[in-house]
Structure 1
Amino acid sequence: MTDSPSMRQCDCGASAGPLGVCVDYYHAILAEEQADPQMYRWHAPVVCAYLLQHPSRANEKYLDGQFRQLQLYVDKGLDALLRVAAHQVARNKHGVRSGYDMAPLEEYAPLPQGGSPGRFRATFCGLPVKGGSFVSDGHLAYGRHIEAIAEATVESWRSVQT
């Protein structure tokens, strides 16, 4: 007997949705945002939240920075996160090779070292998708869904005991 998508469970603890497990949603989001610059604005929080909810798919050395970026996004919003990202891009264009500038993220807590929380109240498997699109209800609605996933991710990681 093969597993139907609704019977499978993702490694983040979520039950699979109509598209499958979170990785299926993640790849569908990445593909759709390539053709939609407005949707692409949420690329950074999508990547950070996905990797923090699925740390086995991430490079461990970047998770702390991704956690801090997600905290910035939850705290100050998308525009603040995009400004920090633009600062990093501009810095890289000027030949600074000393690595990522963590100064804009210093006020945020480091990633807890107690291991992944494993469960999140909002996941990618729960994202609404209509007609094959994540933005069929509009970009602001999509942004609110991504924000809910980001908030749930930060909340669960903060609950990890170190």
Structure 2
Amino acid sequence: MTDSPGTGQCDCGAAAGPLGECADYYYAILAEEQADPRMYQWHAVVVCAYLLQHPSRAHEKYLDVQFRMLRLYLDQGLDALLRVTAHQVARNKHGVRSGYDMAPFAAYGPIPQGGSPGSFRAGFSGMPFRDGSFVSDGHAAYGERIHAIAEATVESWTSGTA
């Protein structure tokens, strides 16, 4: 099942929250982070986790690098991921080569075969949205929630179960 209005549950297995299904949360997060540079620092984590939790919305050929990016983030932290993503962007802008520089991800194994595990202990539709914001209780709390979603995503993919 894919995220679709009115179904009450999306393809990641999560029930809809007050804003709707995971896609509604995802697009609301993307919109809010455009006006908030502190929130935007988790952009890569948000995108990777969302697409890995909803692979029907992703390009299959990128899921492996997205999985490795989340693993790098969980292992080395946000600053390390921001350095790697800045390197990838700079590399692409200068036309050095197309595609990702996989060297930063060499320590992390490929995405497990067999497809999406289908459900996750933490997801987007569980994100609190108060006073019109995902960061109403602070950026640190928002970062902790995004971190928990990233952990749940990698955990489910590596264990094959929710």
Name the TM-score class by shorter chain: over 0.9
- CA deviations on 1:100-158 (whole Å, 9 max, x unpaired) are 10000011120111111001000001111101200000001000000000000000000
Task: Supply the AA of the counterpart residue of 1:68.
Answer: R
Q: Distance in 1 between matches of 2:15 and 2:127?
A: 12
Map 1:119-130 onto structure 2 (within 5 A). Answer: 119-130=119-130
1:70 aligned onto 2:75: no
Identity among equivalent pairs (%): 76
Residue of structure 2 in register with 1:28 after alignment: 28
Aligned residue pair count: 157
Q: Cα offset for 1:93?
A: 3.0
Q: Cα offset for 1:77?
A: 0.8
Map 1:82-121 onto structure 2 (within 5 A). Answer: 82-121=82-121
Task: Supply the AA of the counterpart residue of 2:65.
Answer: G
Q: Cα offset for 1:23?
A: 0.1
Please state whether the residue corresponding to 2:150 is helix, strand or coil.
Answer: helix
Q: Cα offset for 1:26?
A: 0.2
Q: TM-score, normalised by structure 2?
A: 0.93
Residue of structure 1 in register with 2:149 after alignment: 149
Structure 1 portions without partners, runs of 5+: none
User: Where does structure 1 differ by over 6 angstroms across 4 or more consecutive aligned residues?
Assistant: none
Q: TM-score, normalised by structure 1?
A: 0.93
Structure 2 portions without partners, runs of 5+: none
